[in-house]
Amino acid sequence: MKIIIPLGEDTGLNSAVYDHFGSCPFYALVNTQDGSHAILPNAAMHHDHGQCTPADLFAKNGIDAVLCKGIGAGAISRLQALGITVYTMPKARTADEAIEAFNQGTLEKVNAHHTCQGHNCH
């Protein structure tokens, strides 16, 4: 399974998880089956709220799930429409912790009360 995790820095899987999906500086792309990963810069980091569009790129790359702390309703809808499941990970501090929680099945799928109303929602 391929997952995406928003990151605040590029220090591998020890990188800090970023609070908001669309405005993070980097994304970790992780293959949970073989443990491979890549850190990708977020080319759309600076955008107006609601104008973030990494979902299409993720769908083209076969992403199965997104793990995040904060995400807007539009991004959730777009990801879900593309068949990408979105999970909330409120306690994960690093990508490693997020992956561990995902693999243990302890993350909750997002619903309406998880959505952000702006970039300063956390």
- How large a percentage of the chain has pLDDT more than 70? 82
User: What is the spatial distance between Cα 114 and Cα 122, in angstroms, rounded to a whole number?
Assistant: 11
If you search the block for the tokens 């999906």, which residue do you land on? 21
User: What is the spatial distance between Cα 71 and Cα 114, in angstroms, rounded to a whole number?
Assistant: 7
**54 within a domain of the structure (yes/no):** yes
pTM of the entire predicted model: 0.86
**48 within a domain of the structure (yes/no):** yes
Q: For residue range 63-113, list pLDDT tens digits in order.
A: 999 999 988 888 888 898 899 999 999 899 999 999 999 999 999 998 655
**92 within a domain of the structure (yes/no):** yes
| Selected residue with higher pLDDT from 65 and 46 | 65
Taking 90 as the threshold, does the pLDDT of residue 14 lie above it? yes
In which domain, by residue range, is 112 found? 2-116
Average pLDDT, the chain: 85
Domains in the chain, number: 1
**121 within a domain of the structure (yes/no):** no
- Write the CATH number for 71: 3.30.420.130
Which of 76, 3, 54 lies closest to 33 in space, CA to CA? 3
**99 within a domain of the structure (yes/no):** yes
**13 within a domain of the structure (yes/no):** yes
